[in-house]
Amino acid sequence: MTPEMSLQTQKIIGADIIMAFDQCTSDSCTRAEVQQVMIRTHRWLKQSHAYHQQFPTSRYGAQQALFGIVQGGIYEDLRRESAQFVAAMDTDGIAIGGETIGFDMVKTVEIIRWIRDFLPANKPRYTMGVGMSPQDLLDVVAEGIDMFDCVAPTRNARHGALYSGEIVRDGHWLKFVSPHENGRIQIKKACYAQDMAPIMPSCECYTCSHYSRATLHHLFKQKANLFTALASIHNVHVLHDVCAKMRALIMST
């Protein structure tokens, strides 16, 4: 695959936001490898950008926003160099990628702080792969991030890990407090077999309005397809709710 082929595919899909072709670096790479990959990613961004300027719309005629991706692994100087390079390309938005992002939240926040001064204030900032837990969204938005995406909410749901806690005010910001490890209950545990409470008492999703933990425990044990749908509805709803509360707080201040 080439950068041009990647862009062509995204134009056929007709996505509103399309990503420059990049290479994600693993945390186990050496500095020399990370640097080499970063240089390749920058070269591919130039090619992606040139192709997008030539063909700025999707196959269906709609304008598409192109985002460049900052790489550089866990190396401060490389991250800064990459952020400056991507910002100079004047893409519609800037993404921050790499294995660390969303996986190690302490490091994710550190990386955002390293490069924040290089990111244009008027363009959306997107951390790729953030969303393992509701708190992660709060942590990156507090650092000035606008967008994120992650497979974890539905993957956690399929495996019976359901977000349970409360979104509460914490000084000027919000936090997700939970008595459960990682803010999730493991619905397969025997302690939920007769628990008639909803997954998360304050949640207004369809699942919490209609099903108890006991029913969900039973559906999980039966490997019922219905469980996957109900669990995913809940986990995605919690993240939407976190976003709605962050948005309301930002708009009010």
- Given the rule CB under 5 A, which residues bind Zn ion? 203, 205, 207-208, 234
Rounded to a whole number of angstroms, the minimum distance from the CB of residue 233 to Zn ion is 7
Nearer to Zn ion, 8 or 212 (CB): 212
Nearer to Zn ion, 187 or 208 (CB): 208
Rounded to a whole number of angstroms, the minimum distance from the CB of residue 172 to Zn ion is 27
Nearer to Zn ion, 55 or 206 (CB): 206
Name the residue with tokens 């025997």.
190
Distance between CA atoms of residues 217 and 205, nearest Å: 18
DSSP 3-state assignment of 212? coil
Rounded to a whole number of angstroms, the minimum distance from the CB of residue 241 to Zn ion is 9
Nearer to Zn ion, 61 or 201 (CB): 201
* Sign of the alpha-carbon torsion through 220, 225, 230, 236: positive
**Enclosing H/E stretch for 18:** strand 17-19
Rounded to a whole number of angstroms, the minimum distance from the CB of residue 14 to Zn ion is 32
Helices and strands, counts by H and E, the chain: 9, 9
**Cα distances (angstroms) measured from residue 58 to each of 12, 52, 162, 200, 231:** 6, 10, 37, 41, 34
Nearer to Zn ion, 19 or 238 (CB): 238
Rounded to a whole number of angstroms, the minimum distance from the CB of residue 152 to Zn ion is 16
Could you count the other beta carbons within 10 Å of the beta carbon of residue 66? 22
Distance between CA atoms of residues 161 and 182, nearest Å: 10
